[in-house]
Amino acid sequence: MGEWLGHHKDKDIWKYFRRHWLHFFPGIPARTKLASQGANLWAVKQKITERLVQILGADSDDVHLIDGFPIEVCKRVRAKRRKIFNDEVAYGYCASKDKKFFGFQGHLLISMTGIPVSLSLTPANVDERDAAYDLIETIAGLLLGDKGYIKPIFKEDCEAIGIDLQTPLKKT
pLDDT in tens, 17-51: 889 888 888 888 888 888 888 778 878 888 888 89
**Residue stretches of the chain with pLDDT short of 50:** none
pLDDT for the residue numbered 9: 85
pLDDT for the residue numbered 106: 94
pLDDT for the residue numbered 172: 60
Angstrom distance (rounded) from CA 147 to CA 135: 17
pLDDT for the residue numbered 48: 87
pLDDT for the residue numbered 44: 86
pLDDT for the residue numbered 122: 94
pLDDT for the residue numbered 89: 86
The four Cα atoms 124, 127, 128, 134 give a dihedral, to 10 degrees, of -100
From the list 105, 129, 126, 107, the residue with the least C-alpha distance to 118 is: 107
CA 168 to chain centre: 23
At 71, which amino acid appears? I
Contact between 70 and 97 under an 8 Å Cβ cutoff? The reply is: yes
Contact between 124 and 102 under an 8 Å Cβ cutoff? The reply is: yes
